[in-house]
Structure 1
Amino acid sequence: MSHSSELPYNPSNDLEAGLKEVPVERVNRWGQVKLYLKPLYRFRHTLVLKREEEKKQAARKLRIRAHIQALRAVAIFKQVADQVKGSGDDFPIEPEELASMSRNSDVHALQRYRGKEGLADSLKTNLDKGIDGGDLQKRIDKFGSNKNPPEIATSHWTCLWEALYDFTRIVLVIAFVGSVVMGIMEEVSLESLNAY
């Protein structure tokens, strides 16, 4: 670095000018020589290298931050894709969600699938023609067969036992028992009168 011969040499001016004008490559190339020549050069070299190290750390932090944001974006994209596509099978809607939507008349859940047309697309069905028979086994595997489960036959004794809990039947049984008892007592009293 040169300075005018008319002006006296001022190390502080040289330091300020040197920090702004000297490129890093030049500092690195001549750094070893300057370190031994003057304490001023040693100080300048340390400041420039410190600034370069701070720039590298800032760039490294930016790269790490960008990488983390990219990973978050991938995770969010995968989550949204899984919600749209389901669990990777042919039908993106789960049977429980479909049953809940039907049972509760959940309009908001229907709107998440873009209405009845979107729901029909998700279920791969046509609103006019119905389902295609080619994927019937996949539908049975996913949603189950469209049959009511067979009812378990109840015995006559079970039906009788359940019928005893009806109030009207209880009153009728009591009336019947009372009538039979009254009939027996009447017959007994007639026989006793005839015997005398």
Structure 2
Amino acid sequence: MSRTTAGLAAMSLIAAVGVAGCEGNVARRAGQAGRSTSAGAHNDADVTFAGRMVLHHQLALRMVSTADFQAKSPAVKKLAAAIKVTEEQELKQLLAWLGSWGAAIPSPRHDEDPAGEVPGTMTEDDWSELGNAKGTKFDRLWLQLMIKQYQGAIELAKTEQSTGSDAKAKAFASRLQATQSTEVAGMQKLLGQLPS
């Protein structure tokens, strides 16, 4: 799927969700993620940011997969599908940077709790609770945990902007902070619209 097609697909999915604040932001991030992968002048903070964001995106994709078969709300299912498109595009960009910098590619491990390293990450207890949730309870918990996940990414993006060196990584962090802040507001609105 081309970046344009992926971006349009994500945009149509978010528009279908109809969540104010989320519309277009996920798609915009997907389109921008595939831009140049050439290496710039980078430092340790850039490598740390990209590595932690790889873990963040891998775990977000794992969360998205749970919504495929457990979510009750069509809006939550559509949002999850749109997030998947964007996270996959951004993950490719992050992995390309790490590769061009000669840095190790991190991998999530089930026997570790990465929450201390990657803010907003779900704990094993969170995964267990989410796995056992059904119907609207699942939708509500999924949104709460995805909001927390996004807030963790925003924290990482702020750190990258103040300590990073690579211009492209810093621009990526700036876009991510802006769009995910808006997307959090949209998810909070959707959370408020779910039946109690």
TM-score w.r.t. the length of structure 1 is 0.19
TM-score w.r.t. the length of structure 2 is 0.19
Please tell me whether Structure 1 or Structure 2 has the larger radius of gyration of its CA atoms: 1
